[in-house]
C-alpha cells in the first residue's frame, strides 16, 4: 500500500508566516474566504502496520489564497483560533470530510468503511454547539458515528476539567472515536489518560524522527515501547505520525504500533488518492 501521492501543499509563498498574514490584513479576509469556498481538504491515509491496508484518512485543511497561493494550516489556523473563525471553518471541514467518507463508503465496500479523522481545535472544544453540530452532520450524511475519529491535541486536554471533557464523553458514548493527537509533546501525567474519553493515542512525530536511519538509539526504542505497552494496557490503539522511511516502519511495527501515517505511505493529497490506494488493497 505504498504510494508517492502528491505534495500539493508546497506553499507558493514560504516566507509568509502567521505574523505576516496578520500584517497583510488577512484577518478580515478569513470569513470572506470561507464564503468564497477558498478552503479545501487534503487527505492523508492511515494504514494498518501489520498488512499495509488502508484504515482511513486524516482531513488536513488548506487555503487556496488568490494572491499568496496555497497556504498550509500552520499559516492560518492560529489566526482562525484567535478570531473565532475556527468554529465555522472547523464545522465546514467536518461536514466536507464526513461527506467524503460517505462517498468512500458507497463506492469502496471492500475491507469495511474507510475511517475519517478530523482535527478539533481547543476553541471548537469549548464551543457549546460541538455535540449538536457533530450529531447533525453525522445524521445528515447517514454515516455511522464509529467511522468518525476526532483528534484533540494532548495540550488542549492537559488539566481539562469535566466541563471540557463532557462533550467529548458524550461523543465517545455515541461511538465516535476520540484520538489524543501529538501525544508525548504535552507532558501530561500518563495516569491521567485513564480519565480521558480517548480510544486512540497518536504518537507525535518527534518520537519517530530518530528512527529514520539505523542504528536507532536504544533509549528511543525503550520509550516508544513503554508508551505502546501502556496504551495497550489501557485498551488504546496507537497510531504513529511522520513515518518517512521503511526502516522506521519496520521498527515501529516491531514495537507493536497499530496504525501509521507518513510520507513513506503517502503524502496528503486529493480524495482520489484514497480510491487508488483502497482499490489496490482490494486486488
Ligand atoms: P497534525 O494534526 O499533527 O497533522 C500532521 C501533520 O504532519 C500534517 O501537516 C501532515 O501533512 C504532516 N505530515 C504527515 N506525514 C508526515 C511525514 O512523514 N513527515 C513530516 N515531516 N510531516 C508529515 P499539515 O497538513 O501542515 O498540518 C499541520 C497541523 O495543522 C496539523 O497537525 C493540525 O494540528 C492542524 N490542522 C490541519 N487541518 C486542520 C483542521 O481542519 N482543523 C484544525 N483545528 N487543525 C488542523
Ligand atoms: Ca491531527
Ligand atoms: Ca499530530
Ligand atoms: Ca503535529
CA–centroid distance, residue 101 to ligand 4 (Å): 23
Q: In whole numbers, what is the pLDDT of the chain averaged over residues?
A: 87
Output the pLDDT for position 278: 65
Read off the pLDDT of each residue in 74-96 and give the average, rounded to a whole number: 94
Question: What is the C-alpha end-to-end distance of the chain, expressed in Å?
Answer: 11
| Distance of alpha carbon 26 from alpha carbon 100, whole angstroms | 29
For the cut 70, the answer to whether the pLDDT of residue 35 exceeds it is yes
Read off the pLDDT of each residue in 36-57 and give the average, rounded to a whole number: 95
For the cut 80, the answer to whether the pLDDT of residue 243 exceeds it is yes
pLDDT, tens digit, 9 for 90 and up, residues 172-228? 999 999 999 999 887 666 778 888 999 999 999 988 887 877 777 888 889 899 999
CA–centroid distance, residue 13 to ligand 1 (Å): 18
Output the pLDDT for position 4: 41
What is the percent of the chain with per-residue pLDDT over 70, rounded to a whole number? 86
* Ligand 1, CB within 6 Å, residue ranges: 44, 59-61, 72-74, 77, 90, 93, 119, 121, 181-182, 241-244, 261-263, 268
Asked which of 26-40, 52-66, 105-119, 225-239 is least confident by mean pLDDT, the reply is 105-119
User: Which atom of ligand 1 is nearest to 241's Cα?
Assistant: 15
Pocket test for ligand 1, best of 241, 261, 263, 265 (most atoms within 8 A of CB): 241
Residue with CA at minimum distance from ligand 1 atom 17:
242
Residue with the bigger pLDDT between 43 and 111: it is: 43
| Torsion angles phi and psi, residue 137, rounded to 5 | -65, -45
Residue with CA at minimum distance from ligand 1 atom 33:
119
Q: Note the ligand closest to the C-alpha atom of 151.
A: 2
pLDDT, tens digit, 9 for 90 and up, residues 133-146? 999 999 999 999 99
| Distance of alpha carbon 269 from alpha carbon 267, whole angstroms | 6
Predicted TM-score of the model (pTM): 0.91
Write the ipTM: 0.97
pLDDT, tens digit, 9 for 90 and up, residues 6-28? 444 445 555 556 555 554 566 77
- Is beta strand 39-48 parallel, antiparallel or unpaired with respect to 54-65? antiparallel
Q: Give the 3-state DSSP-derived string for 69-131, with helices as H, strands as E and coil as C.
A: EEECHHHCHHHHHHHCCHHHHHHHHHHHHHHHHHHHHHHCCCCCCCEEEEEECHHHHHCCCHH
CA–centroid distance, residue 165 to ligand 4 (Å): 22
Contact 148, 138 (CB under 8 A): yes
Q: Which three cell numbers stand for residue 101?
A: 467518507
Pocket test for ligand 1, best of 93, 119, 182, 273 (most atoms within 8 A of CB): 119
CA–centroid distance, residue 1 to ligand 2 (Å): 21
Contact 116, 158 (CB under 8 A): no
User: Which atom of ligand 1 is nearest to 204's Cα?
Assistant: 3
For the cut 50, the answer to whether the pLDDT of residue 57 exceeds it is yes
Nearest to 250 by CA among 205, 213, 218, 222: 213
DSSP 269: B
pLDDT, tens digit, 9 for 90 and up, residues 96-130? 999 999 998 888 666 677 899 999 999 999 999 99
Residue with CA at minimum distance from ligand 1 atom 10:
268
DSSP 126-164: H-TTHHHHHHHHHHHHT--GGGEEEEEEHHHHTT--HHH
CA–centroid distance, residue 111 to ligand 3 (Å): 25
Read off the pLDDT of each residue in 151-173 and give the average, rounded to a whole number: 91
User: Which atom of ligand 1 is nearest to 80's Cα?
Assistant: 44
Amino acid at each position: 500500500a505504498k504510494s508517492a501521492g502528491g505534495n500539493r501543499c508546497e506553499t507558493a509563498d514560504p516566507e509568509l508566516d502567521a505574523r505576516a498574514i496578520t500584517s497583510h490584513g488577512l484577518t478580515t479576509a478569513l470569513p470572506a474566504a470561507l464564503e468564497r469556498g477558498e478552503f479545501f481538504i487534503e487527505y492523508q491515509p492511515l494504514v494498518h502496520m501489520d498488512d499495509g491496508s488502508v484504515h482511513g484518512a486524516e482531513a488536513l485543511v488548506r487555503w487556496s489564497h488568490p494572491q499568496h497561493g496555497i497556504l498550509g494550516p500552520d499559516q492560518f489556523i492560529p489566526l482562525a483560533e484567535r478570531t473565532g473563525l475556527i468554529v465555522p471553518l472547523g464545522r465546514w471541514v467536518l461536514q466536507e470530510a464526513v461527506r467524503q467518507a460517505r462517498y468512500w463508503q458507497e463506492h469502496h465496500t471492500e475491507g469495511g468503511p474507510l475511517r475519517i479523522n478530523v482535527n478539533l481545535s481547543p476553541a471548537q472544544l469549548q464551543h457549546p454547539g460541538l455535540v449538536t453540530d457533530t450529531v447533525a452532520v453525522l445524521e445528515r450524511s447517514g454515516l455511522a458515528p464509529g467511522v468518525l475519529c476526532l483528534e484533540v491535541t494532548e495540550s488542549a486536554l492537559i488539566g481539562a476539567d469535566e466541563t471540557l471533557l463532557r462533550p467529548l464523553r458524550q461523543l465517545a458514548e455515541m461511538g465516535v472515536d476520540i484520538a489524543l493527537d501529538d501525544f508525548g509533546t504535552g507532558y501530561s501525567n500518563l495516569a491521567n489518560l485513564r480519565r480521558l474519553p480517548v480510544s486512540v493515542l497518536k504518537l507525535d512525530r518527534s518520537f519517530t524522527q530518530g528512527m529514520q536511519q539505523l542504528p536507532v538509539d536504544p533509549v528511543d526504542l525503550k520509550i516508544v515501547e513503554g508508551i505502546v505497552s501502556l496504551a495497550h494496557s489501557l485498551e488504546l490503539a496507537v497510531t504513529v505520525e511522520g513515518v518517512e522511511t521503511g526502516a522506521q516502519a519496520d521498527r515501529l511495527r516491531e514495537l507493536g504500533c497499530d496504525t501509521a501515517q507518513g510520507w513513506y505511505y503517502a503524502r496528503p493529497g486529493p480524495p482520489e488518492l484514497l480510491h487508488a490506494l483502497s482499490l489496490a488493497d482490494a486486488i
